[in-house]
Structure 1
Amino acid sequence: MKILHVEEHGVSLEEVHEVTRFHAKILHPKFSAISVILRYIFSWNVDVHSELMLYLTVKKQTLIPRLYLFPSNPGQILAVEEQESKFQGSKRIPITRPEQSLKLNSSFRLNIPCSTSIFPPRIHLIHRDTTPSFFKVVMEITGIEMELIGDDERTVWKEIVPTDEYITETHSTSAVLGAGGPAESSLTGPAEQQLRSVRTEFVKRVSGPVLNELLDGLLQHTVINQEEMESVKVIAERTEKARDIIDMVLRKGNESCSRMINLLGELDPCLCSLLQINSVGEPT
């Protein structure tokens, strides 16, 4: 194996003495000042293909996602897999890669609307000799709506992970939420009363994709009309959209609230379990 080496008057090939996971060692390297300068200049203006690897750990009622971000490198992928094998209950979730190349040495932040905390606030996209850095997120168990945002505040990547991708039949919602303890009692009473009592938590926890499907379902069941749906669907901010939907349904009375609870139970059973609201019989 040989390495292409940039010199003042051209390029040369150098013999490699030893190859490790992350380095190629040269026994008698030739120092070139211009190669150092060129590497410094170009490393700050290079677009690179990048990898994102998502791992999840579920602990009682808490979900802990870890999202790794690094320039594409098979060795780094192995390093992440090796590190995650040491975490009890860690499960890798398949996700997409960024469609576009990312700028090396740029920093990125992760946005997850329903998260309690995300650390660190930003990660720099750089080549590392160690295991890549990752965002550690703490959140309630629900669908995950993620977006990666660059220095210029533009979204460079989005992903949605529904609950059924990490809660399987052998790792059921009730088992996750109960964690061996006694089950919490569900809410009882009229549908309107149930929905009103969980309004704050609904706004906080419901995901954007569920809201859009919920709107379609409410329209199909004539709980809302076309004009009402269009007025809410254009709202970009998730919590504001959720607030408008639940308030709109609450104003329509108990029958409409029953429809919404049943629809929510079909679209996001995990969220209904967290909110402890009961599906009710279809109104006649």
Structure 2
Amino acid sequence: MANLFERAAVLTDIHFGLKSNSTTHNEDCLGFVKWFIEKAKEQNCETCIMMGDWHNNRAAINIVTLNYSLTALELLGSAFDRVFFIPGNHDLYYRDKRDIQSAEWAKHIKNVHIMNDFHSEGDVQFIPWLVGDEAKKVKRMEGRYAFGHLELPHFFMNAMVQMPDTGEIQREDFRGLEQVYTGHFHKRQSHNNIIYTGNCFPHNYADAGDDDRGMTIIEWGHDPRFYSWHEQPRYRVYNLDQMLDDPQGLLKDKMHVRVNLNIDISYEEAKGHVHVRELDGVKIPFANPDLLWRMKSRSIRPKDQGDL
């Protein structure tokens, strides 16, 4: 049996249309896809595997978002010999069945193959979003690799919360597969033979401080290699004293920052003593010397979570 691929470039959970069809987010998605293709070509990848949640809104697609989505899929179809597209739960109109999904039209794009059902080829298993009692099928699967959009217990849904065990499916059910790569949970993590690769780039403050996202390259028979997009948006949560102490060191391009007010100072007082300058395209707050003196003379309240 011939292997399905020599080198595969893998992405997942890009979520076109997130943040109320934000142009900034859609531009980031398209920018990521262009970088993804460039990196994949550098690594001689002939195959692309998309593991789900291409779109964010399962009920409808905004026309502007659809144009971004179409452009990106056409780029992927032109760049790779084969693109395997597994619809995720956000791509499905119904969460509990797969008969209607938002990217069915992509089958008309050259080289794009929609994996809307179980599919086995070249020692690789494609596992769709599981519905009904389909989890039972997983226990009988064998193969070198599997790709899917899986909701498995005990993995982290985000930085803090683990997926509870509903009893429907277990990590041990995949023991017949050497390596299982999956989307759905955005945090990169692994346990034994199961790998959540992490989504394309951080999306919100649930991803704060966790930049291990991007793309995965799998050369048949070798360990996966992970790459992060150098232009990805990043999220951080800082205390005000940290920000005023080292703004240039903490603030970077395309960084979203939430500031906790942990200093005994009012908003009005701070506002009058902080000015913003732009350095290398990044807006950075600078504190006047008298504010820094006041900060040092006042007690710090580390558990104050008020936002400035």
Q: Give the TM-score band, short-chain normalised.
A: under 0.3
- Is the radius of gyration larger for structure 1 or structure 2? 1
- Normalized per residue, which structure has more helix? 1
